[in-house]
Amino acid sequence: MLLPRIYVPSTSPEDWKRLLAEPDRQWRPEYSAWAVAHAWEAAGGLPPEIVGLVRETPFFAGASPELLCAFPEYTVDLPGGRRPSQNDVFALLRVGPNTAGMAVEGKVEESFGPTLGEWLDGASDGKRQRLSYLRDLLGLHLEPLPSTLRYQLLHRTASAIIEASRFKTDAAIMVVQSFSDKATSKDDFLQFVDLLRGQMQDKGLAEIKLPNGLPLFVG
pLDDT tens sequence across 141-171:
888 999 999 999 999 999 999 999 999 999 9
Question: For residue 7, what pLDDT band results from cuts at 50, 70 and 90?
Answer: confident
Residue 3 belongs to a domain = no
- Residues 6 or more apart in contact with residue 64 via CB below 8 angstroms: 51, 54, 55, 95
In a domain, 40, yes or no: no
Domain-embedded: residue 11: no
At residue 49, the pLDDT reads 96
Return the percentage of the chain with pLDDT > 70, whole number. 98
pLDDT at residue 217 tops 90: yes
Q: How many domains does the chain have?
A: 1
**DSSP secondary structure of the chain:** -PPP------SSTHHHHTTSSSHHHH-STTSHHHHHHHHHHHHTSS-HHHHHHHHTSGGGTTPPEEEEEEEEEEEE--SSSS--EEEEEEEEEEETTEEEEEEEEEESS----SBHHHHHTT--HHHHHHHHHHHHHHT---SSPPTTSBHHHHHHHHHHHHHHHHTT-SEEEEEEEE--SS-TTHHHHHHHHHHTT----SSSPEEE--TT---EEE-
Q: Does the residue 133 lie in any domain?
A: yes
Domain housing 175: 46-218
**Contact of 108 with 180, CB cutoff 8 Å:** yes
Q: Does 21 map to a domain?
A: no
- 140 part of a folded domain: yes
Residue of 215, 105, 201, 121 lying closest to 164 (CA atoms): 215
82 pLDDT higher than 90: no
Least confident stretch, 31-35, 132-136, 137-141, 195-199: 195-199
Q: Is residue 128 assigned to a domain?
A: yes
CA dist 97 and 113 (Å) reads 36
Residue 208 lies in a domain: yes
CB 176 within 8 A of CB 186: no
- pLDDT the model gives residue 132: 96
Go through the chain and tell me how many residues it has: 219
